[in-house]
Structure 1
Amino acid sequence: MIKVLIADDQELIRQSLQIVLNSRKDMTVTDVAADGQEVMRCIRKNKPDVILMDVRMPKMDGVQCTKLIKESCPQIKIIILTTFDDDEYVYNALKYGASGYLLKGVSMEELANAITTVYNGWAMINPDITAKVLRLFSQMAKADYSITVKEKNMDELTRAEWKIIAQVEKGASNREIARTLNLSEGTVRNYLSTILNKLNLRDRTQLAIWAVQTNVRNKVEGRPLETEGAL
């Protein structure tokens, strides 16, 4: 019997999934949760085998929740079930250890098959975002090349922008950056666009690679940056 936890902030979805999965002979829903914090409480009470995890939930989103769960209970399998196919969510969910990523709209049979698949140690990716995942893996495979930025371009960065870059180096999502630096997600996106233009970098992946290569986080945390625009 596969024990499943359902995490979604919409009550109708929680109830519908619970009814369908409990009707199966090989699965039982141990708990339902409306946010990430509730998920953490549930797994301490009843450790599930598989979690169906929504991405956008209050208090703690599904990506951050996935990270915490895989750090403390790596044996628990997590399937991200969402209406969003944003690159950032795909990348971070898989980076933090999710075993599956499905878009809402899959049939109940497909969902049940995905649960069984990840329970048995395999991964399950929705066909609609497989190309996106392969592109991300390709970028990661090429991450051993060196990315250089001109010194004069770095001199144009403000202290606020350096702090954003340090968060990108950590692998933080826009939402996590916004929460950490007390900004809106829109402001974070604007900062990132400006940073990429100043450094003449193509995308967030190049920025993250460059930040790691130059050890930006230690520079930001280790000494004050005497530039304007401090947060």
Structure 2
Amino acid sequence: MDDRVLLVTGASRGLGAATARLAAASGFKVALVARKAESVTPLAAELGEDRALALGADVGDWPSIAAAVDETVARFGRLDAAFANAGIAVGTSFFGDDDDPDPRAWEPMVRTNVLGAAYTARAALPALRESAGHLLLTGSVAGRYIRNASLYSVTKWAVTGMAGAIREEAVGTGVRVTLINPGITDTDILTDEQRTKPMLTADDIARAVLYALQQPPSVDVNEIMVRPTGQVL
């Protein structure tokens, strides 16, 4: 895998940082995208500045993420894979109960989780067509099973549909599309109640991403769902 180039959004922590580390250890050059470049600069230094690029971009802003992809290609000469991983979660109640009185607080989550994934895909796919590359998107178990009052779940159902729609459009291009659906994972978006349950680590999900990336071009891993042992759906 030497010199293959992977772009990761949401790379400053959690699944994104774990995936970047494992990919770099497997021989990838990595473009690390976070809202502020300084939040991924230490990780780029850790991985080696000749093989890692720190980029600041808001995935929910089209010019911003498009520029990050352009800068990646300018720096490394190609793009072989993109991991649309950036996401946030906020609590929601469609009745306005509990601590969710203002639905306008939902907007950043919808913009990041849905438009952010779509913009990242749109920015990366022309370069991925050139390399017959690989697009990966972070979905969720919550994008496969209904969650009570959860707009986060709705956004992840959107990503599930997005992955399928892109895969259909990609037929004949050589581009592969993989949806990664984590179960409860130890990241900073978990609620206190979720932290009482069995959890995966970010490294568990990174290994699933690398499994998909390590398949030959003739194999398109459409979807991987990873749950902690004992998680009840």
Pairwise TM-score range, normalised by the shorter structure: 0.3 to 0.5
Greater share of helix residues, 1 or 2?
1
Larger radius of gyration: 1
If asked which structure has higher relative contact order (CA below 8 Å, sep 6+), I would say: 2
- What TM-score comes out, normalization by structure 2 length? 0.44
